[in-house]
Amino acid sequence: MRFLRDTGKILLLLVFVIATNAQDLAWYQSFLSERIAPVYVSAYRTLKNNIVNPILTFKEEMPKTGMSVAAIVLLAQRLTCATKQLYNDSSKALRASEELNSAVENKAAEIVSAISTKENELREVNNWLFRVELQLGGGPVKIQEAENEVRYKVNELNTADRELAVEQEKRMIY
């Protein structure tokens, strides 16, 4: 019987976790694709297109065109703007990641609480089953005792019938 209780507990938890995970997975994927990925993509594009590529291009063109102060100032201004944009995008991505982390931690706490509740319910059911098993387990003993008591009473009745018959015979003889 204990095997059935343990198996039932495992199956209940498995169904609960699968149902919860299906909903959570869709939410998690949606959050990633709508709130986090776009900001990281923007930060990556800013880094690549507005910082790394201009530096590489400037380095390649510098020997050909010479190093003018105006070109260096323009590059510095563009890099400053791009760096600010990269910082803003990275900050947004970090905040969104922290929000996701917090939401996942809250969801994990909810799941742990729900599992604990289900375990308590299972424990109550197991305790009830244990009490029923005890009552049923004592049943055959009680039945045996009752059968013995019935046999004893039948024997007493038979003895009383025989004594009555003997007494009646004695009265008839006298």
Spans of all domains in the chain: 2-139
pLDDT at 9: 53
pLDDT at 86: 94
The tokens describing 25, both together, are 């997975």
Q: What is the pTM of this model?
A: 0.55
pLDDT at 4: 44
In the chain, which residues have pLDDT < 70?
Answer: 1-22, 63, 65-66, 138-140, 174
pLDDT at 82: 95
- Rounded CA-CA distance 10/110 in Å is 19
pLDDT per residue over 16-54, tens digit each?
555 556 677 777 788 888 888 899 899 999 999 999 999
Q: b vs e for 113-141, b when ≥16 Cβ sit within 10 Å of the residue's Cβ?
A: eeeeeeeeebeeebeeeeeeeeeeeeeee
